[in-house]
Structure 1
Amino acid sequence: MAEEEYEKILFQFHSDVLDEETIETMWAVVIDKEKGLYKLDSIPFYAPDVAADDIIYAEFDEDQERLTYRNTVEASGNSTVQVVILDSGTDTNEIREMFDSLGCTSEKYNEGYFVIDVPSSLDYSAVQNRLTELQNAGIIGYAESCLSKKHGLE
């Protein structure tokens, strides 16, 4: 079986937090290089409206001198949640493990900030309940940067 080929894809977007144009790069598996199709293999730290396993279209951008995201061809149904640790006495990895035990995966940006990938097959209500509990306790703040249609209905 052939090894999967990966490409780094540039995402350009307006950050409401920073109130400026910003960029993020993510790894994606090559599906069809000629057609510009890739499967996102990263959990977005900041880029809105995309989630892990989405099929995306990217093309080479002369100005950026690299492959650049243009649009989502097929949403995976996964959701992305951004989490900020507000309580300095709380270990980021302990909070991540709570969500791992619910069936999610996560990527840590630094101590105090991580993102959660909620698979499309998972019932989001259990994840959302835990997020809300932790937020109400003043331990975290969170934002649903990409909430799939399925998870939005739960």
Structure 2
Amino acid sequence: MSEQVKILFNFHSNIFDEQMVETVWADKVDQEKGLYKIDNIPFYIPLIASEDIVFAEFDETEQMLTYRETVEYSGRTVIQVVIMDKTIETNSIREIFYKLGCESEKANEGYFSMEIPANLNYEPIKKKLDRMENSEIISYAEPTISDKHRTEGYN
């Protein structure tokens, strides 16, 4: 197992309309070249998914390894889910999507981010998300959607 590092992402959030920071774990791919593979699902960072290869370097101002650019995309899609129906536990919604092949990380009760692997068809997942949103159980955003999933989910 390779040694893990934390990488800082400094970004503008369209959802919160403010500058934000978030750190994620990454595996060293080629430290001399500044290449790292993202190892966890981001909660808020747009256009980043686990298994993406990124270039990061030490930033004197931030005093830590800081994201600069994505070198290679994993083809994974990240969905941010907010539970609108407060009578439903977050983990029960996560379980529904886990059974469809999606992994997720819970930020807190009422919010989690979920990832769709590159090899999974997005259409049935998108239909489930839309049904749950139309029923006002959840609300969701697609901050990171792969080209493959974009074509599958919008037929």
What's 1:42 paired with? Answer: 40
**What is the rounded CA distance, in whole Å, between the counterparts of 1:50 and 1:16 in structure 2?**
15
Q: 1:26 is matched with which residue: 24, 27, 49?
A: 24
TM superposition shift of 1:21: 1.1
What's 1:68 paired with? Answer: 66
SS of structure 2 residue aligned to 1:153? helix
CA deviations over 1:92-139 (Å, ceiling 9, x no partner): 101000000001100000000001110000000011011001001100
Q: 1:81 is matched with which residue: 76, 79, 82?
A: 79
SS of structure 2 residue aligned to 1:34? helix
**What is the rounded CA distance, in whole Å, between the counterparts of 1:118 and 1:31 in structure 2?**
23
TM-score by length of 1: 0.97
**Runs of 5+ in structure 1 lacking a partner?**
none
**What is the rounded CA distance, in whole Å, between the counterparts of 2:19 and 2:3 in structure 1?**
29
Identity of aligned residues (%): 53
**What is the rounded CA distance, in whole Å, between the counterparts of 1:17 and 1:103 in structure 2?**
26
Letter of the 1:111 counterpart: E
Q: 1:143 is matched with which residue: 131, 141, 149?
A: 141
Residue 99 (1) aligns with residue 97 (2): yes
Aligned residue-pair number: 152
**What is the rounded CA distance, in whole Å, between the counterparts of 2:33 and 2:56 in structure 1?**
9
CA deviations over 1:30-49 (Å, ceiling 9, x no partner): 10110000000010100001
What's 1:123 paired with? Answer: 121
CA RMSD of aligned residues (A): 0.7
Residue 134 (1) aligns with residue 104 (2): no
Farther off after superposition, 102-111 or 15-24: 15-24
TM superposition shift of 1:20: 1.8
**What is the rounded CA distance, in whole Å, between the counterparts of 1:20 and 1:134 in structure 2?**
28
**Runs of 5+ in structure 2 lacking a partner?**
none
TM superposition shift of 1:18: 2.6
